[in-house]
């Protein structure tokens, strides 16, 4: 994949989408084979890989709800090794990127699901990583919030040249956002699909899985 590209991981429940993302994020070790990010092996060079990636999941519960969005991001910036002033600057920039500055000083407990998802993306952007990993990012979002997320991802990829790997059950979402898709079943990539025309992914997905459209 190149800079500015979006790859969608699609497949039924248990296909291995989340597992693959966790391997790419260095949270799990592959039982066989290998994976590279930026030329670095995710198992043998995990420290280098971690500096290249940002990760957000649709069920993220890792925030401190009594702290503000800004305070949360400052805390996580500290975990990345940033000094206080640099951490605040990066946190503010990340909040601005996801249009959360007006809510920056509000406790996260007052955020809607959509706002917390934007905060998760802001956290993923803290280290200015070239690669973003999103796991079912719109699963708990209402249609308006989901549309806002898709617009944000398109901007991150097209305008800010981030590489995005995103797991989703929503084939329409994948077709709108992705340049390519990988169809997974049983922990294996069964087919890679280029988005050459509307409906290409949906047709290949249902043909491969033998399901009626």
Question: Parallel, antiparallel, or unpaired: how do β-strands 6-10 and 36-37 relate?
Answer: unpaired
The pLDDT of residue 59 is 67
Buried b (16+ CB within 10 A) or exposed e, 10-24: bbeeebbbbbbbbbb
Task: Round the average pLDDT of the chain to a whole number and report it.
Answer: 89
Structure tokens of 105? 């000083």
CATH number listed for the domain at residues 1-52+129-213: 3.40.50.300
pTM recorded for the entire structure: 0.88
% of the chain surpassing 70 pLDDT = 97
Assigned token pair, 106: 């509000």
Dump pLDDT digits (tens) for 93-142.
999 988 899 999 999 999 988 888 889 989 999 998 999 999 988 877 78
Task: Return the structure tokens found at 137.
Answer: 């990012």
Element (DSSP H or E) covering residue 166? strand 163-167
To the nearest 5 percent, what fractions of the chain are helix, strand and coil? 40, 20, 40
- Mean pLDDT within 169-183: 90
- Give the residue among 135, 108, 150, 114 at the shortest CA–CA distance from 53: 135
pLDDT score at 164: 94
> What pLDDT band is residue 211 in, cutting at 50, 70 and 90?
low
The residue ranges of every structural domain in the chain are 1-52+129-213, 63-127
Q: Give the tens place of pLDDT for each residue, 49-88.
A: 999 999 988 766 789 999 999 999 999 999 989 999 999 9
């Amino acid at each position: 994949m190149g800079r500015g590209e979006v790859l969608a991981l699609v497949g039924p429940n248990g296909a291995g989408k989340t597992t693959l993302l966790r391997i790419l994020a260095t949270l799990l070790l592959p039982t066989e084979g290998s994976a590279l990010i930026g030329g670095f092996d995710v198992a043998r060079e995990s420290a280098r890989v971690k500096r290249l990636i940002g990760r957000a999941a649709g069920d993220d519960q890792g925030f401190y709800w009594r702290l503000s969005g800004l305070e949360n991001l400052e805390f996580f910036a500290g975990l990345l090794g940033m000094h206080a002033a640099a951490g605040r600057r990066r946190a503010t920039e990340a909040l601005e990127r996801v249009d959360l500055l007006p809510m920056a000083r509000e406790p996260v407990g007052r955020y809607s699901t959509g706002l917390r998802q934007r905060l998760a993306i802001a956290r993923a952007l803290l280290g200015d990583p070239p690669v973003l990993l999103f796991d079912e990012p719109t699963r708990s979002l209402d249609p308006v919030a989901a549309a806002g997320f898709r617009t944000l991802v398109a901007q991150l990829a097209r305008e800010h040249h981030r590489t995005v790997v995103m797991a989703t059950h929503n084939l329409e979402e994948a077709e709108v956002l992705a340049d390519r898709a990988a169809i997974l079943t049983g922990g294996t990539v069964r087919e890679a699909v280029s988005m050459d025309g509307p409906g290409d992914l949906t047709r290949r997905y249902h043909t491969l899985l033998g399901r009626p459209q």
